[in-house]
Structure 1
Amino acid sequence: MLCFLSFVGLAGPLSMFSQGQAEAQHVDDQVSADWVAEIEKVFIRSEECKQCHERHYEEWKGVREQTPDLKTFGRVDAALLHGTSLTSPVFRTVLGLWKQTNPTADEQRRCLSCHAPAVTVFPEHAEKVAGQVLSGKSGVEGIGCAACHLMAGIDKSASSPPTFALQPGRTLYGPYANPEENLVHPAVQSTQFREASFCASCHFDKVKDVMQKNLPGEILEGTICQDCHMEPSTGSSTSRRGAMTRSIGRHWFRGVVVAGTMLKNRNVQAEWMPRIDLEVTKIGATVEGRSLVKVGSLPHSFPDGDPVLKQFFLTVTAKDAKGQTLAEETQQFGLSYDQVLRGPIPDPFIKGGNTRKVPFVLTLPEGKAAASIEAVLSYALIPTPAPILLERYLATLATDAARDEAKNIVQEYTQRHFLTYRVKVLS
């Protein structure tokens, strides 16, 4: 009887403890649902838009492009889809590494403002959005339909990107002068949708002036980003109704690695590619000179992406007459994780229409003579994290599978990719 009473006596507290856990979990879930619901009252989910805009939804989501790259990394042909701006394992890994450098709340909000524009309207939820990303849980959308179609203009007072200005409300903005009337939402034209500044408000390194309407240069006169990166088509922007003869753009926003985009204009392709010239000013026990890295008038930095994470490597090598390496020097250009978004965003390694002059000094082994100088330019998509930084981030992950995934992403995205080279024979 005593044993029976003891069992009954313990069952009550255990049951109460279990119930308390369940109630606490319910409260946590409710709090999570509350802030997500608050954001989604303004930034409606793209699934809602799919009911009428099915084609654009599928392009944005990558539904028709189920390649291994998309399934693994959230990318198509090396161009990250906007629909994966928060869910991409690549972004989760980079954010997780950067978080180990203890960014301030404002620096974190600044980082998220392009990946999740909702934080510009709801800055108080930026930390929760970051937590959502790092946990891999679904929550608010990143760059969904509303994130772009609530854009009513550009904030000309902004001192640095992003420069978009959102207008929360039921009205959605777009490029049409005479939008179709509908019972779902008011639609208003914004000239911003046919200007380069629309894209440059986040992709700021692509142009010299993020406020400009068109891309400068003889080759690109009158061109905007959307002309190449939103493949033009004709039809209706809805699957239910609308003028079938309108000019519409595809919503997968592919990068220049898609051959069809670049092959439309060979001049554009030639202007985009970087080139190197070599100046040698001293030959002897040391070889001194400069690498002149050039890119054409196309206002892109190269090769793609952004100037915040990308790393460039310029390797200059002195070789003898038999092609044997005598001396080599590699210079790296780019920010480390603890420098990202600390202060003004720097210019990329080189902007369109510019030449960057990088000096080099190579000391040769005694008695050896250099017959040629070789310069190789390569890049990596993200910085290589310091070992302690990677170790701290991996320690935050709950499973070996998650740690293996993070290691694989770091390994792949820190690999160097060849861009161009030059060899100069010394007389």
Structure 2
Amino acid sequence: MIQKLALGGMLLILALLTITFHERAIAQKTDGQAQPDWMAEIEKVFIRSEECKQCHDRHYEEWKGMREQTPDLKSFGRVDAALLHGTSFESPVFRTVLGVWMQTNPTLEERRRCLSCHAPAVTVFPQHVEKISAQVLSGKPQVEGIGCASCHLINAVETTPMPPPTYKVQPGQMLFGPYADPEENLVHPATQVPLFRGANFCTSCHFDKVKDVTQRDLPGEILQGTICQDCHMEPSTGSSTSRRGAMTRAIGRHWFRGVVIPGTLLKNRNLQAEWMPRIDIDATKSGAGVEGTVLVKVGSLPHSFPDGDPVLKQFFLTITTKDAQGHVLAEETKRFGLPYEKILRGPVPDPFIKGGNTRRVPFSQTITAGAAEPATIEVVLNYALIPEPEAELKAKYLATLANDQERAAAKQVLEEYVQPRMLTYRSKSL
């Protein structure tokens, strides 16, 4: 009885501390000014992750990147080329890309669509899209992007394929998660939702990764029974609340890195073969040059690599014809990807390469009369993380920044992220 009373007293104190902290957060000051009413309105539903930290400090630190302070993360909010969810608004990358895109005059609905995955709160508060965008562009966002509540207020997804996002937020006190027996407490009620153990939870935003966003598992012989969380939420044991002493169970880390376990590809040759894109070349000499088809393939693995991303990612297919001595006779580069002016204007296209599919790219090259005989065809596939803005669009965005320091930082982000990265290469004799 004494132990039960002591436990009850501790829970009561914890609840009082939580209420006090929450009220203090709602009344927080921003640059010496009272918090705007619209922010308080959002945070009554989407409680700030700092409040969750009181009990869930381990997950909070992982989500925020505090346990992995690599130089790359400090500079760009990146780990293994993946943005941490906890830096979704603080990242200079998101600020820069959003800033350039805003110069193309997107409509309010297009902006809401952009923010719907970066800030799920806009699905409940669409009237605040402009204010949230302005905070991100200022470089000092006070609202939270993808926080604890953003995911743990989701209790369903659409059951048929449709444009993203497909998640459904249920505003209220109840928080949803994967455990069948969440511990009772005086801070918030919790209940199990099987969705948290399905790939379709993640693909409601990361829709480009798989063939069918409605499937709970990733189909196919190699990944049968696998879900996104198995790799991207590194399995561990412990307590999700960090307050349960020796009581442990299987938990997933909350840093959501691009490749949490680098050895996975190396130790599984089948997985490695199915994941990596590859090229075949079907080409013949014609009277005036060379023509044919480049076939870009990704195996049966239903996971696009490197993360298809049909919204921002750019692909470059360079086709080069050479003579027997290696001299270039003809060359062309085909670009695949949306420019800023077309992003989120209409349906989101399929990725350039999608798991289990083959992309056929026809080509025809004319050889200058009198040149040497074509001997080989070489094809290189590169990709870039974001589109390179036109000079006028880039200048227009840079002019909106407050000072030279901000402009230099934006230029650095653009230079880093538009750089082509090689994916694969193929050469064929004619």
Task: Specify the alignment match of 1:159 in structure 2.
Answer: 162
Name whichever of 263-272 and 57-66 sits farther off.
263-272
Name whichever of 239-248 and 343-352 sits farther off.
239-248
1:106-153 superposed Cα distances (whole Å, 9 cap, x missing partner)? 000000010000010100001111000000113111111000000111
Task: Output the CA distance in 1 between the equivalents of 2:317 and 2:31.
Answer: 54
Task: Output the CA distance in 2 between the equivalents of 1:199 and 1:187.
Answer: 20
What pairs up with 1:141-156 in 2 under 5 angstroms? 141-156=144-159
Matching residue within 349, 362, 375 for 2:365: 362
Cα distance, 1:159 vs structure 2: 3.1
Please tell me the root mean square deviation across aligned C-alpha atoms, in Å: 1.8
1:382-418 superposed Cα distances (whole Å, 9 cap, x missing partner)? 0110111001100000110100111111111101000
1:267-296 superposed Cα distances (whole Å, 9 cap, x missing partner)? 222211000000013344210011010001
Structure 2 residue 399 is the aligned partner of structure 1 residue 395: yes
Bigger radius of gyration: 1
Task: Output the CA distance in 2 between the equivalents of 1:126 and 1:158.
Answer: 25
Cα distance, 1:256 vs structure 2: 2.9
Return closer, same or farther for 1:213/1:341 CA change in 2, 3 Å cut-off.
same
Name whichever of 155-164 and 359-368 sits farther off.
155-164
Task: Specify the alignment match of 1:416 in structure 2.
Answer: 420
Structure 2 residue 295 is the aligned partner of structure 1 residue 289: no
Matching residue within 211, 217, 220 for 1:217: 220
Task: Specify the alignment match of 2:171 in structure 1.
Answer: 168
Matching residue within 405, 408, 413 for 1:404: 408
What pairs up with 1:260-409 in 2 under 5 angstroms? 260-263=263-266, 265-304=268-307, 306-367=309-370, 368-409=372-413
Task: Specify the alignment match of 2:239 in structure 1.
Answer: 236
Q: Is the Cα contact below 8 Å between 1:294 and 1:356 reproduced in 2?
A: yes
Task: Output the CA distance in 2 between the equivalents of 1:115 and 1:170.
Answer: 22
TM-score, normalised via structure 2 length: 0.90
Task: Specify the alignment match of 1:42 in structure 2.
Answer: 45
Runs of at least 5 residues in structure 1 that lack an aligned partner in the other structure: 1-24
Q: Is the Cα contact below 8 Å between 1:78 and 1:257 reproduced in 2?
A: no
Q: Is the Cα contact below 8 Å between 2:234 and 2:261 reproduced in 1?
A: no
One-letter amino acid of the structure 2 residue matched with residue 389 of structure 1: L
SS of the residue 1:41 aligns to: helix
Runs of at least 5 residues in structure 2 that lack an aligned partner in the other structure: 1-28
Task: Specify the alignment match of 1:188 in structure 2.
Answer: 191
Task: Specify the alignment match of 1:226 in structure 2.
Answer: 229
One-letter amino acid of the structure 2 residue matched with residue 327 of structure 1: A
Identity across matched positions, percent: 72
1:1-51 superposed Cα distances (whole Å, 9 cap, x missing partner)? xxxxxxxxxxxxxxxxxxxxxxxx999944x52111111111111111111
Matching residue within 206, 227, 232 for 1:203: 206
Task: Specify the alignment match of 1:178 in structure 2.
Answer: 181
Q: Is the Cα contact below 8 Å between 2:155 and 2:169 reproduced in 1?
A: yes
Task: Output the CA distance in 1 between the equivalents of 2:303 and 2:180.
Answer: 30
Cα distance, 1:210 vs structure 2: 1.2
Task: Output the CA distance in 2 between the equivalents of 1:281 and 1:404.
Answer: 48
Name whichever of 316-325 and 361-370 sits farther off.
361-370
Return closer, same or farther for 1:202/1:264 CA change in 2, 3 Å cut-off.
farther
Q: Is the Cα contact below 8 Å between 2:223 and 2:301 reproduced in 1?
A: yes
1:305-360 superposed Cα distances (whole Å, 9 cap, x missing partner)? 62100000000100111111110011000000010000010000021001111011
Q: Is the Cα contact below 8 Å between 2:161 and 2:212 reproduced in 1?
A: no
SS of the residue 1:251 aligns to: coil
Task: Output the CA distance in 2 between the equivalents of 1:91 and 1:305.
Answer: 18
Q: Is the Cα contact below 8 Å between 2:154 and 2:176 reproduced in 1?
A: yes
One-letter amino acid of the structure 1 residue matched with residue 236 of structure 2: S
Return closer, same or farther for 1:148/1:415 CA change in 2, 3 Å cut-off.
same
SS of the residue 2:334 aligns to: strand
TM-score, normalised via structure 1 length: 0.91
Cα distance, 1:243 vs structure 2: 7.2
Name whichever of 231-240 and 88-97 sits farther off.
231-240
Task: Output the CA distance in 1 between the equivalents of 2:96 and 2:257.
Answer: 22
